Amino acid sequence: MAEPDLTTIDNQVRSCTKCALSSTRTQAVPGEGSPTADLMFIGEGPGFHEDRQGRPFVGPAGQLLDKLLASIGLNRADVYITNMVKCRPPENRDPHPGELAACSGYLNEQIRLISPKVLVTLGRHSFGKFFPNETISKARGRPRKWNGNTLFPIYHPAAALHNPRLKPALEEDFQKLKSMLESNDAPVEEQKGSPEEPNQLSLF
C-alpha cells in the first residue's frame, strides 16, 4: 500500500466518521500550511468559524496568530497549523478522551510527514496531550523533547484575547521561537511527564 501523504490524510479527515463529532460538524478541518514547515502549531480543535470554513484558526484567535507570525517575519504559508481533533466539538466544549484518542492517528501522521523542527502546542489542552501532568503556566516558553521532537508550549491566542495580561508572554515566546529557528540549536530541557501515552503513538 502506498505511503499516505498530507493530501491523503486531508481526504481521510474530511470523510472521517471515527467519532461522534462527525455527526455535528459542518466541515472537518484537517489543517493547512507548508508540508515542509519548520514550525507546526497544534491547537485544541476547530471553533465556529473554522467549522464553517474548513480551515484552522480563521477567527479572532487566528487573526492574533497571524500577527504573532508576522512579528517574527513569517506567515501561514511558512508554517503548518492544525488541531488535536479535526472536527468542532458542539458549543466549543472540550473534546472527550475518546474523541482525542480516535483522532490522534491523524495528528501523529501529520507530525511524522512534516517532521517540523519545532512542535508548538497552543494552550493547555494541546500541551496536555503530550505532557498531561504539567500546567501550561509553568511550562510555557521552555522547549523540551517529546518522542524525538522538539516541543515548545505557549499560551493559546484565544487565552490572550480573553486575558490580555497573557499577551506579553505570548509575544515573548514568539521571539524565543524566532531565536530557536535562527540558532538551529534549540536549548532543550530534559523530557518530563508521560511522553508516550498509548494514544500518542497510535497510527492508522
Residue numbers at the binding site for ligand SF4 (CB under 6 A): 13, 16-19, 21-22, 28, 85-87, 99, 102-103
Measured from the CB atom, is 6 or 102 closer to ligand SF4?
A: 102
Residue 103 dihedral angles phi and psi, to the nearest 5°: -90, -10
Residue 24: CB minimum distance to ligand SF4, A: 10
Residue 90: CB minimum distance to ligand SF4, A: 12
Residue 86: CB minimum distance to ligand SF4, A: 4
Q: What is the CA radius of gyration of the chain?
A: 16
Helix (H, G, I), strand (E, B) or coil at 147: coil
Residue 164: CB minimum distance to ligand SF4, A: 31
Q: What share of the chain is helix, strand, coil (3-state, %, to 5)?
A: 50, 15, 40
Residue 179: CB minimum distance to ligand SF4, A: 34
**Quick one: cell of 53?**
470554513
- Is 140 exposed, middle or buried (CB count within 10 Å of its CB: 0-12, 13-18, 19+)? buried
DSSP 165-178: GGHHHHHHHHHHHH
| Cα 87 from Cα 201, distance rounded (Å) | 20
Residue 76 dihedral angles phi and psi, to the nearest 5°: -55, -35
Measured from the CB atom, is 147 or 199 closer to ligand SF4?
A: 199
Give start and end residues of each alpha helix (H) in 31-72: 48-53, 60-71
Measured from the CB atom, is 88 or 144 closer to ligand SF4?
A: 88
Measured from the CB atom, is 130 or 152 closer to ligand SF4?
A: 130
Helix (H, G, I), strand (E, B) or coil at 139: helix
Residue 53: CB minimum distance to ligand SF4, A: 16
The residue count for the chain: 204
Measured from the CB atom, is 87 or 180 closer to ligand SF4?
A: 87
Measured from the CB atom, is 108 or 150 closer to ligand SF4?
A: 108
